[in-house]
Amino acid sequence: MILAFLLNDNIGRGLLVTSALALLWLMVTSFLALLPNGAGAAIWYTLLVGALGAVFGFYGLLRSFGRVRVYIGTGPDLRRVFDRMPTAHRAPHPPIWAYGSHLQFFPWIIYNILSTVLAPLRFEKQTLRVFGLVDKTKPESKTNTRSMDEDVVINYFPPVDKAEEGTQGDQLLPLDAPTIFIDGGLTCTSEDIPGSSFPRLAVCQGFRVVVLERRGHALPLTKPRWNLFGDSDDFEQIFKAVRKNIPSAPFFWLGISSGSKLPMEAMAKFDERRRNGDTSAPDFVAMACLCPGYNLETCVKGFGFPYKQLCLSSVRSKFLLQNETVLRSHNPEAYEKAVAAKDLQTLVSHVAPFAGYPTAKEYFAAENPVLFAPKITTPTLIINSMDDPCTVVSNCYGTMPGRDDGLTFVDMVEKSPCAMLLISPSGSHCPFLDGTFWPFVRVPWSLGGITCASWADSCILEFFKGYLMEHQN
């Protein structure tokens, strides 16, 4: 329970980081205290001058030579929308005091902890029962029923039940306001998707957000069905429930970090169904993926220290240990292997039976997003950072599985009629802080008064507004 608190709760994460920094400070001061008189002060002075010189020097190089790599597909609408995205035409301006890939996490995490406690978003929550096939490799039948049912949580902000009313200071939008579905990260919830700046900024610009909490994220599992990256069948049922509540709003979809897998995989399948005449398939105006891992078979292999260990412990604690009775009783062998996994990529392979597939090979063949990405026709924006310590940028330059022509994901984007890829020189994994001295912006008091200024958030909202204009025209 203590480990779960430290890894999955915002306050717990804050205590963990603070404790690590305090321990480091204690070790350094204790070492310097052992040195002869005056030597410690000289070392402190040398370290300070050297550190400041390195900080300013590297920051100057980043600002002078850092450029956004832009890859745009063949569709003429992509160029029109890109021309209306001023933020995408420049690189992020990270704060000089926190511009490194690791340092960007500190102000970002601290803000999220404070905003969660002091200014939480007042979501309207809807619990929905979704139903899944026992074996996803076989069609529905009397022996393969949709008995893998579970509750998921749909979070609306602003609330839809108060769209036409409200008190002074409420952040209200009409029912037909453009709406963004958000699929969050590995163990994230509606208050940390990760971070909370995007929902606040989106609402400021007239978008409603619908944050999805997949199986096991908000509620404990009652059935042995769990897909770490999300299930497209579950999502289609969620889509229909939201469409019933918001019948005429234009829909957009954003996947963040590991939450990017589901939009990319599912959108390809939905688009193909509509091309084949299935009008019941979910449809969207546009989609965006922030810090995706691309190839599901290798996406988390690049996680560096300490993120590899932290993410593995977090997933193991939140999903496996907290749902041990349900999962172990269904498949003891898969559960034991997953709990004993030494890295997250190995764990992903071992938990395939809980996602509805007998083997990892069948799981990857059915759900690896890069296998389906060429079938996407919905306008798609993808954003990565060159200094991402988790979903490393080399992933997008890797060859796509199942092909013999050596095509990379970047090549596929440039051949696509609907895709745009932006790779920034800084941004880390998700923060993309933007502001030389003060990476924050004002928002209405009903949204907390202040939020993180994110280059990626701005690009995504400009992309969505561009395609909203295209859609309305």
Q: What is the mean pLDDT of residues 62-71?
A: 83
**With the C-alpha atoms ordered 113, 118, 123, 129, is the resulting torsion angle positive or negative?**
positive
- DSSP string covering 448-460, please? TSEEE-BHHHHHH
Burial 158-167 (b: 16+ CB within 10 A, else e): bbbeebeeee
Q: Model-level pTM? A: 0.89
Q: What is the mean pLDDT of the chain?
A: 89
CA torsion sign for 324, 328, 332, 338 is negative
pLDDT tens for 356-382 read 999 999 999 999 999 999 999 999 999
Contacts of 219 (CB under 8 A, 6+ apart): 127, 150, 151, 152, 153, 213
With H, G, I as helix, E, B as strand and everything else as coil, classify residue 384.
strand
**CATH T-level topology, domain 68-472:** Rossmann fold (3.40.50)
Confirm if 381 and 422 have CB atoms less than 8 A apart: yes
Residue 6 pLDDT exceeds 50: no
Bridge-partner residues for 131, per DSSP? Answer: 149
The 3-state secondary structure of 10-61 reads HHHHHHHHHHHHHHHHHHHHHHHHCCCCCHHHHHHHHHHHHHHHHHHHHHHH
Report how far residue 38's alpha carbon sits from residue 50's, in angstroms, rounded to the nearest whole number: 18
Residue 257 per-residue DSSP state:
G
Averaged pLDDT, 5-10: 48
CA–CA separation, 139 and 42 (whole Å): 73
Q: What is the pLDDT of residue 20?
A: 60
User: Among 53-62, 224-233, 306-315, 392-401, where is mean pLDDT lowest?
Assistant: 53-62
Bond prior to 332 in cis (omega within 30° of 0): no
Confidence band of 168 (pLDDT split at 50, 70, 90) = very low
- Say how far residue 320 (Cα) sits from the centre of its chain: 21
At residue 273, does pLDDT exceed 70? yes
Nearest to 440 by CA among 40, 107, 76, 26: 107
> Looking at residue 405, what is its pLDDT?
82
The domain segmentation of the chain, as residue ranges, is 2-56, 68-472
Under DSSP, is residue 216 helix (H, G, I), strand (E, B) or coil?
A: coil
